[in-house]
Amino acid sequence: MAKTEPIVISPAVVDGLRMIFARLANDTSALSRPADVAEPVDRDAISPRLLTAVQAGEFLGVDQTTVRELWRDGKLKCVHVGRGRKVSTVELWRYINEHEQFDRDR
């Protein structure tokens, strides 16, 4: 089964789609309802941020050394910014999704 990257949709696009669907369904109450009134959303999942090795380690629950080893081994993509490296939250979620597995022994 192929893994796919998450789709990022901005709140403005969600509002536009909501208006289109409301017009199609003749539901005028949805026209005045902003997108952020719906369910709470994890903003890191929507708008990618660049994190340092320390921040990425906290995100993954590992030490920064592990993040640097993943970069070195090519298992985690990084962005070179100035003299340092950073990793996007989207890349961290990709890594998690690709390495997530069910542990039958527990």
Residue 51: what are its φ and ψ, rounded to 5°?
Answer: -120, 150
pLDDT in tens, 32-42: 555 555 555 55
What span, in angstroms and rounded, lies between the C-alpha atoms of 90 and 45? 7
With residue 80 as reference, give the H or E element that holds it: strand 79-81
Q: Looking at residue 13, what is its pLDDT?
A: 72
Q: Where are the domains of the chain?
A: 10-41, 44-101
- For the record, the structure tokens of 52 come out as 């340092």
Which amino acid would we find at residue 25? A
Question: Considering the domain 44-101 in this protein, what is its CATH number?
Answer: 1.10.10
pLDDT in tens, 1-34: 566 777 777 777 777 777 777 777 775 554 455 5
What span, in angstroms and rounded, lies between the C-alpha atoms of 84 and 24? 50
pLDDT band at 55; cut points 50, 70, 90: very high
> Rounded to two decimals, what is the model's pTM?
0.54
